[in-house]
Structure formats: structure tokens, C-alpha cells
Amino acid sequence: MIQMVMLFAVIPILALPIRLGEYAHEVRGLIERKVKNENQLYMLTSGLSYFFSSFMNLAALPMTYYSISPAVSGFSVNNQERYLSRSITHGYAMPLLWSPITPIVGTVLGLTAISYTRVLPYLLLLSIGGLALDWTAGTLLFKPGRKRKMSRSQNETSAAREQNSRFHPARLLHILVAVLLLNALITLFDRFFKLDFMFLVSLLVIPFSFIWCLFIHKGRPFLQSVGHHFQTYWSKMQNQFFIFLSAGFFITALHVSRADTILNQWVEALIHFIGIQAFLIMLPLFPFALAFIGLHPAVGLALISEAIHADLLTQCPIVVTIAMLGGAIPAFLMGPYNATLGMMASIVDEKPFKLSNWNLTFTFFYLILLTVFVQLLYFIL
């Protein structure tokens, strides 16, 4: 649990090169020049959130929102906050399946003892399928329209902003290269060094971000920003710290009281009664259900990990790992007590339960996609 807190503390540092490099200018310029209707804007927002999430985790939510929101007023969108919340959280959730900087990935790999490189291709395929599902749902939900006509003063302001803004779309390739390079480094280190996965990721974040800032000539501002980050961000982390610390005590209490043994016996009996194939359908529902009583998906999966070790991992380890990681995504999309909806709710000034309700339809169809995908892998592998 301490490793998860440490990872949450250092991951926002990856957003510093994005902010110091002012890459948001390129995003806004891209929207002004290329996006023609609400559908294209939805796909761009969701895709951008997916892209940032694979690299910055929770920092992707405010980064995407503040890059996109100024342009939304130029489109015929009835409920802008719902529109942005759906597209951003849906896109954000999909890389949580495979991104090495995501705590749930390191936790599940630690529970199942499966190599990251073995499951990565399947997780990427499921992640891209989830993004395609979101784009399809967004296209059906928002009918194509035209941009609102701006007044003369708005046109003059927009033209002046366009002349003054530094729009260099090729600079967006910096982020793409950085994402690919960081993931390649983590995969390489994980393959050749016997280090804990979450510790390895935490170890690489700061030097990688510093080298990126040196590349864009922002080395000194980066060092100043890192110092400010550790002075101010720890106090903001106190809620997450208490959540994970309490979860650790909860698991320890279960172990000391031997209640975890009873729980594992129940899970083993359920597996023997309904069979492995049927249990793989139910497995993603455990972290999803526990999210509504405030338990992080990692905690819910840890509770049943011993029973899974005994029966499932010896027969279909890759499929079980994918089912566990896939089952964590609905918890992030709809769990009203997790950091994802908590941060997004503070950004759009809505209650987390309202955001959870907005994500209900997509979560339902994602669970269908996950079930079909897991069952196909069960027969193939």
C-alpha cells in the first residue's frame, strides 16, 4: 500500500514537461483548424485523454479538460460538463488496463506473478477495443452539427489569438515519443532487473521527466517545480494515504482473524460449483461491487487472490490477469469514492454520484465487451 501511495505522489511529475512546454497551445490550435463537429470533438477529447492517461495517470484529467474546454463553447453541445466528463473519463480509463505507471497494473501483476510482457499484447487489444466502443457510443449520442457562428468581436479575438499563439503541431510528436520511450524503458527494465514493478516505475519518473525538460530547455523551471510539488502535493495526498493505509490494516485484520481463510474457502467453493468459465464472468464484478463501499479495486482483488492462486492461475494465468485488470475499469468509471471521479467532480463542479450515473451506459457495454473478450481468450489460450 505504501508503494501505491509513493506512485501516486510521483506520477504527477510527468505532467511538468507538458505544462512547462506549453503543449496545450498545440491542442487548442488543432481543434480550431481541424475539428468540424461534435462527433469529431468527442473523439479527439476521448483520444487525447487516452493518450495523456497512458503517460500521466490522474494528471491526464485536468490536462485534457483545460486543453479542450475553451473550444467546446464553439460547438452546439447542450450539457458541456456532461459531454466533457463522459469523453474524458472514458478515454482516461482505457489505458489503466495496460499502462505501467498505473498502480492497479503493478498490483495485479504482483498478485498473479505474471510477466508484464506476456499480457501486454492482450491488454492493448482490449484497451483499443474499449476506446473504439466509446467513440461509437459518442457518435450515436451526439448528432453531427455545425459550429456556432461567432460574433464579430469573438472572430477578432480568435484571429488575434491565432496570430499570437505558437501553433506547431509537430511538437505534439514530443509527447508521442515520450510515451513510447517511457513504456519501452519500463518494459526493458522489468525484463532484465528483478525489481518490484511499482518501485521500478516510481524510480524512473523523475529522471525521465528531467531529461525531457532538458530537451525542451526547461531544466531549471523543472527543478523549481519539483521542489514546489513535494512541498504542496503531500498535503493533498492525505486522503489517498489514509484510504490505502486503512485498506492495508483491513487486509491485515482479515488475515489475523483468519476471516480471509473463510473468504477464500467461499470463493473456492463457488469456483468448484459454477466452474472456471462461469467464474471468469463473475470475477470482474467483485472489484466493481466493492468500489461502491469505498474499497479500491486493488483491495478487492487482493481479498480473493489466494483462492484464485489455488484454482485459476495454474490453469489460465493470462486470462485471469486480464479478467482482474479488466474488472478494475468499471470501478474507476463508476466508483463514487475513487480518485478518478473525485478529481473529475472537482474539475466540473458536480457530485461524484452524478458522474457515476453519466458513465452507467458505457460501463454496461464495456462489461459485455470484457466478458466476450475473456471467454474468447479462455478458449484460445
Residue ranges of domains in the chain: 2-380
Whether 147 has a pLDDT exceeding 60, the answer reads: no
**Size of the chain in residues:** 381
How confident is the model at residue 237, as a pLDDT?
A: 67
Q: What is the dihedral of CA 312, 285, 8, 357, to 10 degrees?
A: 170
Range list of H helices, 36-171: 38-56, 60-72, 80-93, 103-112, 116-141, 152-164
Percent with pLDDT over 70 in the chain: 87
- pLDDT band of residue 313 (cuts 50, 70, 90) is low
Whether 264 has a pLDDT exceeding 80, the answer reads: no
Contact indicator for 39, 138 with CB cutoff of 8 Å: yes
Q: Which DSSP letter does residue 304 get?
A: T
Taking the C-alpha atoms of residue 273 and residue 381, their distance in angstroms, rounded to an integer, is 23
Mean pLDDT of 305-312: 67
Percent with pLDDT over 90 in the chain: 24
Amino acid at the residue 177: V
- pLDDT band of residue 166 (cuts 50, 70, 90) is low
Q: Which residues contact 236 (CB under 8 A, 6 or more apart)?
A: none
pLDDT digits (tens, 9 = 90+) for 194-235: 777 778 877 888 899 899 999 989 999 999 988 888 887 766
Taking the C-alpha atoms of residue 312 and residue 288, their distance in angstroms, rounded to an integer, is 20
How confident is the model at residue 306, as a pLDDT?
A: 67
How confident is the model at residue 151, as a pLDDT?
A: 42
pLDDT digits (tens, 9 = 90+) for 119-129: 999 999 999 99
| Nearest-10 crossing angle of helices 60-72, 80-93 | 150
Angle among Cα 172, 174, 176 to the nearest 5 degrees reads: 80
- pLDDT band of residue 152 (cuts 50, 70, 90) is very low
Instruction: Sort 66 into a burial class: Cβ within 10 Å, 0-12 / 13-18 / 19+.
Output: middle
Residue predicted with more confidence, 111 or 361: 361
Range list of H helices, 216-338: 219-236, 238-256, 259-274, 276-282, 285-290, 297-303, 305-311, 317-334
Q: State the pTM of this model.
A: 0.79
Taking the C-alpha atoms of residue 211 and residue 95, their distance in angstroms, rounded to an integer, is 24
Whether 23 has a pLDDT exceeding 70, the answer reads: yes
Residue predicted with more confidence, 168 or 145: 168
How confident is the model at residue 153, as a pLDDT?
A: 40
3-state secondary structure of 98: coil
Whether 340 has a pLDDT exceeding 60, the answer reads: yes
Q: Give the mean pLDDT of the chain.
A: 81
How confident is the model at residue 150, as a pLDDT?
A: 43
How confident is the model at residue 367, as a pLDDT?
A: 95
